[in-house]
Structure 1
Amino acid sequence: MRNAHEVAKVRAAERELMARLPEGALMRRAAAGLASVCVRLLVSGRAGVIGPGEGVYGSRVALLVGGGDNGGDALYAGASLARRGARVTALLAGSKTHEGGLAALRAAGGRSVDATDAADVTGTSAVTEIEAADLIIDGMLGIGGRGGLREPHATLAGHAARAIATVVACDLPSGVDADTGVVTGAAVRADVTVTFGTYKPGLFVDPGAAHAGVVELVDIGLGPYLDDPDVCLAQAADVDLWVPRPERESNKYRRGVPGVVAGSETFTGAAVLSVGGALHGGAGMVRFASAEHSAELVRHRWPEAVTTVVGESLGEVGRVNAWVAGPGLGTDERAEALLAEVLGSDLPVLIDADGLTVVARRRDLLWRDAPTVLTPHAGELARLLDDTDADQVEARRLEHVRRAAEELGSTVLLKGSTTVIAEVGRAVRVNPTGTPRLATAGSGDVLSGLIGAFLAARVPAMDAAAAGAYLHGLAGRLATAGPARDDASGDRDAPITAYDVIEGLPEAFRTLCG
């Protein structure tokens, strides 16, 4: 796991550590790590127009310096680059400047410009420095910043966005909320963010994650002083532990039997896709229950599934270990009766799509002792909660997924640009494998079946949801990158369908076991 901590915990850890260190030592550790990453970028040729092998000497670096500790980090890092031969200019944009950092920069041969004026006394403007830079370091605001950037920071961020230089954010892109990822106005868009001590939740969750670029962690010694994380980013090694493996004595029943209640006479595709997701998720057997037409199509496409035609009762389906209900089911009285029966059981249940619309008007069905997993997108989550809308959910994903888990008594997987998973009393988990190509009809149905297979294998709800999201995203990426997706020019941006995701799942699983 990559663990992220909110600002209050970071500040408390910093205080404990600084009490044991000489004054200024912690800032110098952070600055050394920042400078090391910047050197690597310059030497590799990724920064601006510097070519490989040309190194740091003679490169131009612009520092966007605010009045806080991040400004000090940027100044000390700039001093290190200046000592290596870089031409470093600090654009001072705060009401005050870290005196020690500025003195170090000047002693190393760097210079400074008052970024609040059109030009300094030498006639060199801040805009000119940004336009000429090979590398820009953003040190305007730190993790304590809230709200959109004000002037002159907003203007500097705009100039940096239009420059050809690589932009490196110091700890966090200025204008991004460290705890939530919320961006309420102008903010820096970084190519690389060098964060110190621990990851910050806002670096993992959109819209903040989209501003952070590649995130690199510099260890400055905070680890022993940090409390439990608030947000975790799943890694392949974690998913490998969560995903069930067949054992020597396994049979189809021991591997888990999900029951899928999906589709209707009108909506049939969701039934086929959710069953496909469950089968490719490792289920020993899938029992499918629906209307005649959906059952017929599932029998034709997935002959290994056991299908049952049902009306308003699931009595003839047979024994299952978990339920997946809702995709394509409809929202009428029949659908409500089937959902009430599923949620009235003592088995783990996943609710998606039409099922979420039904429980939005029958939230009483969710209060149960067995695990319940809900997989809404922003609009569906807004319907499950009061006094909110889809735009508010998208803008404040962490806030709303935590609220939903609390109010609905469920494990909630909020789909979207960043998939986040919440459960009461647990750190929110963030999925790192998502891709915009999963924004296609039926993709969510595949995810529902996949998670349902894990639930049936007795994987805890939070682990099942996180593993399903990870493998689903990875399958989507593999579907875009596989040989069948490459054209003659090597283009790997061809669109995919939900069925492509199903076909990508075996390869996604193989990445976990090497």
Structure 2
Amino acid sequence: MRHAHTVDQVRDAEAALMATLPPGSLMQRAAFGLASAVIDLLGGSYGRRVLLLVGPGDNGGDALYAGALLARRGAVVEAWPMAEQCHPGGLAALRAAGGRPVDDCAHPPDVVVDGIVGIGGRPGLRPAAADAWLRATAHGAPVVAVDVPSGVDVDSGRLEGPHVVADLTVTFGTHKVAHLVDPAAAACGAVHLVDLGLEMPPAGIESLQPGDVAALLPRPRPDAHKYARGVVGVRAGSPTYPGAAVLCVAGAGAGLAGMVRYDGPVADAVRAAHPEVIAGPGQVQAWVVGSGAADHAAQLLAESLADQVPVVVDADALDHLPDRFPSPAVLTPHAGELARMLGVPRRLVEAEQLAHARAAAERFGAVVLLKGRHSLTAEPGGRVRVTTTGTPWLATAGAGDVLAGLIGALMASGLEPFEAASVGSWLHGAAATLASAGGPLTAGPVAEAVGAVVRHLPTAG
């Protein structure tokens, strides 16, 4: 599991560790990890031109000490201070190693190291720092951020005002919220974690890794039969959108549950595409309702809630939510749908995704999966999982229908809503990446690739 901690949690852990170490040891560890990452990015250090943008805090010190290490490895290192004072020990180390301070970007660098503001900085860069960053990157050099890109809101993932956009972020001790939660996560580029040996408390935000998915995924027992593995019901589609029902059933029938039952208005289209599906009313362990349901959505949701089994509520059914759910529920909105659910502008949801996903989970007493580049699964109480699998090609019609079906199958097979939504989202993104192979895809192959993703998971246990 990848964990993301808040600024206060990180500071407390760093203070506890520094109390046991000689002064400056933690910064030296961070600087070594940073310098090593820069060398890896450049493919070497000798003769490479490195420009450090240095603020007054410890992130500037990390950058300066890393610059000293790079200078001793043959790099041409220049430090551009963003304040009247910068870390005195780091600056002395840089000068002793042959680096030098500058007051502009006179030569195009091979890499720019952003050490302007650390995790305690406020969102947005001051005008002088924003101008320096633009001048330093004008020739297209890659940017390495120290801990976080300067100017992002570390604990919320918000972006407010000018900020650094990094190709690589080298962070220390643990991931921070901004590394996982958009829109800030999109400014981080690739994230490399340097282990400092911090003892961290439990994190409220986490991200599943393949081993976690393997451990959570329900697998059939040797004596399993189709009913024991769970029956997932689908109430989706309409004469206007029959394909939504077909794709939702494809996700539900990707092999994660024992049987799929379809009870909706386009049974002929579903049977034609999926002859193994049972059509008509009957008992299920979970319902998936709403995908492409159009004018049928309210009725289908009411029927599903009356059964008092876990339910996945998608698409059109999200416009007909009860104040509270009588049984466990997963809601799967995109940003526009979540905005309607909460009565706020879409731009606010997109700007503060974490806050709004958590607010919706509390408001409806249900698990909320806010779909996006990094989808957020939030449950009442504040715990959140971030999905980092996927590909931009997954932004295609019908992909959400497949996802809803996958989550329903996982709930029918025994997973609790939070686990089902986060595991389903992870599998959906991984299957899309596999099916895409770097190119365009449509929704159907995403469902077809789920089996191959599961086969390639590490052995659980």
Same structural fold, with TM-score higher than 0.5 when normalized by the shorter chain: yes
1:255-270 → structure 2 map (5 Å cutoff): 255-270=229-244
**Could you tell me the TM-score, scaled by structure 1's length?**
0.87
1:152 is aligned to 2:116 = no
Which one-letter code corresponds to 1:251 in the other structure? H
CA distance in 2, matches of 1:273, 1:352: 13
CA distance in 1, matches of 2:291, 2:41: 47
Q: Equivalent of 1:371, from 324, 328, 345?
A: 328
1:497 is aligned to 2:442 = yes
CA shift, 1:424, in A, is 2.0
Residue 417 of structure 2 corresponds to which residue in structure 1?
Answer: 461
Residue 337 of structure 2 corresponds to which residue in structure 1?
Answer: 380
CA shift, 1:426, in A, is 5.1
Which one-letter code corresponds to 1:510 in the other structure? R
CA distance in 2, matches of 1:471, 1:205: 19
CA shift, 1:375, in A, is 0.4
Residue 98 of structure 1 corresponds to which residue in structure 2?
Answer: 87
Q: Deviations over 1:52-76 (max 9, x none)?
A: xxx3222111100011110010001
SS at match of 2:105: helix
Give yes or no for contact 2:290–2:300 (8 Å, CA) kept in 1. no
CA distance in 1, matches of 2:139, 2:220: 53
SS at match of 1:39: helix
Which one-letter code corresponds to 1:284 in the other structure? G
CA distance in 2, matches of 1:93, 1:236: 41
CA distance in 2, matches of 1:201, 1:327: 31
1:221 is aligned to 2:197 = yes
Residue 212 of structure 1 corresponds to which residue in structure 2?
Answer: 188
1:59 is aligned to 2:48 = yes
Q: Deviations over 1:17-55 (max 9, x none)?
A: 22222222211111111112122223x2xxxxxxxxxx3
Q: Between Structure 1 and Structure 2, how many residues are aligned?
A: 459
Give yes or no for contact 2:325–2:364 (8 Å, CA) kept in 1. yes
Q: Deviations over 1:373-393 (max 9, x none)?
A: 00000011011113x211111
CA distance in 2, matches of 1:269, 1:59: 55
Q: Deviations over 1:461-506 (max 9, x none)?
A: 111111111111111111211xxxxxxxxxx43x211112122222
Larger Rg: 1
CA distance in 2, matches of 1:335, 1:413: 19
Which one-letter code corresponds to 1:477 in the other structure? T
Which one-letter code corresponds to 1:327 in the other structure? S
CA distance in 1, matches of 2:221, 2:419: 20
1:249-398 → structure 2 map (5 Å cutoff): 249-291=223-265, 294-308=266-280, 317-331=281-295, 335-359=297-321, 363-364=322-323, 366-368=324-326, 370-386=327-343, 388-398=344-354
CA shift, 1:165, in A, is 2.3
SS at match of 1:35: helix
CA distance in 1, matches of 2:350, 2:455: 33
Residue 22 of structure 1 corresponds to which residue in structure 2?
Answer: 22
CA shift, 1:92, in A, is 0.6
Give yes or no for contact 2:230–2:257 (8 Å, CA) kept in 1. yes
Which one-letter code corresponds to 1:301 in the other structure? A
Point out 4+ residue stretches in structure 1 off by more than 6 angstroms.
none
CA shift, 1:107, in A, is 1.0
Give yes or no for contact 2:167–2:188 (8 Å, CA) kept in 1. yes
Give yes or no for contact 1:161–1:188 (8 Å, CA) kept in 2. no
SS at match of 1:250: coil
Q: Equivalent of 1:197, from 173, 179, 184?
A: 173
1:445 is aligned to 2:390 = no
Give yes or no for contact 1:157–1:186 (8 Å, CA) kept in 2. no
CA shift, 1:427, in A, is 2.9
Which one-letter code corresponds to 1:321 in the other structure? Q
Residue 127 of structure 1 corresponds to which residue in structure 2?
Answer: 105
CA shift, 1:134, in A, is 1.3
1:409-448 → structure 2 map (5 Å cutoff): 409-425=365-381, 427-448=383-404
Give yes or no for contact 2:144–2:170 (8 Å, CA) kept in 1. yes
CA distance in 2, matches of 1:109, 1:72: 16
**Could you tell me the TM-score, scaled by structure 2's length?**
0.96
Of all paired residues, the percent bearing the same amino acid is: 53
CA shift, 1:281, in A, is 4.1
Give structure 2 stretches of 5+ with no counterpart: none
SS at match of 1:128: coil
Residue 185 of structure 1 corresponds to which residue in structure 2?
Answer: 161
Residue 5 of structure 2 corresponds to which residue in structure 1?
Answer: 5
Residue 31 of structure 1 corresponds to which residue in structure 2?
Answer: 31
Which one-letter code corresponds to 2:140 in the other structure? I
Give structure 1 stretches of 5+ with no counterpart: 45-54, 115-125, 309-316, 482-491
Residue 107 of structure 1 corresponds to which residue in structure 2?
Answer: 96
CA distance in 2, matches of 1:471, 1:195: 27
Give yes or no for contact 1:419–1:434 (8 Å, CA) kept in 2. no
Residue 245 of structure 1 corresponds to which residue in structure 2?
Answer: 219
Q: Deviations over 1:119-176 (max 9, x none)?
A: xxxxxxx2224x2x11211100111112211122101222344333221110011111
Give yes or no for contact 2:211–2:458 (8 Å, CA) kept in 1. no
Q: 1:513 to 1:195 in 2, by over 3 A?
A: closer
CA distance in 1, matches of 2:316, 2:140: 47
Residue 488 of structure 1 corresponds to which residue in structure 2?
Answer: none
Q: 1:281 to 1:451 in 2, by over 3 A?
A: farther
